[in-house]
Amino acid sequence: MATWKRPDKRRVRAIRDRLREIYGLPVNRPHGHPIAELIKTVLSQHTNDRNRDRAFAALRERFPSWEEVRDAPLPELEEAIRPGGLAQQKAPRIQAILEQLGDPPDLDWMEAAPREESLEYLLALPGVGRKTAACVLIFTWDIPEIPVDVHVHRVGSRLGLFPEKASFDKAHDLMLEIVPPEDAYELHVNLIRHGRTICRPKPRCGECELRRMCPWYRENRAGRRAADAGSGTAGSIPAAS
């Protein structure tokens, strides 16, 4: 986008409402298991939800406690999480993280800790970035966070919620500034749903109900369609692709 203007509250609400009409109102069900969420997020890297869940289930079945995961022979741990892919990288990372969580490993203290303290602690763990830390806080205790994954980043930037070239961390900061805490989970989930179905890397703008409020569409599709119509080549750019 040529120039980015920080969206006001009304605009953020309008996007939230339109997404809600399409995808419904998702309800967070915080589960209260921070280490499980943390390890699951490590397992989710570079794979889909189904493989992540298979790897996590196999891990818990083979090593019922976090101490057992931490102390397991590395080849056995790799074998258990193989369905999630990149087992040789993820297994040592999981053990390195667990080694830093005390003995026995514990993160329950975070529920009552100040958010900043929790974030700082999580971000100091090996290989843990903003998205993983945000997942732990919001999915474990419903502490308002907006994990920015590739879908949230793509859809959010096209809708002008943050600049197109913003880093994932910057996008995360901006989303937290412009989205009211009570809408954080909803926007996170519905932006992902929109990114998976319509606003894919190759967007299906012709089917998109957010078209009229989308700066990316105005710049990249609507302008070209108008120009084509003016030069007598209307229809050469498909409405949906």
Binding residues (CB under 6 A) for ligand SF4: these are 158-159, 198-199, 203-205, 208, 210-211, 214, 216-217
Closest contact distance (angstroms) between CB of 192 and ligand SF4 is: 13
Toward ligand SF4, which CB reaches closer, 174 or 205? Answer: 205
Toward ligand SF4, which CB reaches closer, 13 or 211? Answer: 211
Greatest CA separation for the chain = 72
Q: What token pair was written down for 105?
A: 């490993």
Toward ligand SF4, which CB reaches closer, 192 or 210? Answer: 210
Closest contact distance (angstroms) between CB of 158 and ligand SF4 is: 4
Q: What token pair was written down for 45?
A: 């890297």
Gap between the Cα atoms of 123 and 132, Å rounded: 9
Closest contact distance (angstroms) between CB of 198 and ligand SF4 is: 5
| Planar angle of CA 119, 149, 138, nearest 5 degrees | 40
Closest contact distance (angstroms) between CB of 150 and ligand SF4 is: 14
Gap between the Cα atoms of 35 and 107, Å rounded: 7
Toward ligand SF4, which CB reaches closer, 125 or 205? Answer: 205
Closest contact distance (angstroms) between CB of 178 and ligand SF4 is: 17
Closest contact distance (angstroms) between CB of 19 and ligand SF4 is: 10
Toward ligand SF4, which CB reaches closer, 158 or 193? Answer: 158
CA dist 21 → 8, 33, 191, 223 (Å): 20, 31, 13, 27
Toward ligand SF4, which CB reaches closer, 22 or 113? Answer: 22
Which residue type, as a one-letter code, is found at position 189?
Answer: V
Gap between the Cα atoms of 186 and 184, Å rounded: 6
Toward ligand SF4, which CB reaches closer, 33 or 211? Answer: 211
DSSP string covering 28-82: ----S-HHHHHHHHHHTTTS-HHHHHHHHHHHHHH--SHHHHHHS-HHHHHHHHG
Gap between the Cα atoms of 43 and 52, Å rounded: 6
Q: What are phi and psi of 225, to 5 degrees?
A: -65, -40
Closest contact distance (angstroms) between CB of 131 and ligand SF4 is: 21
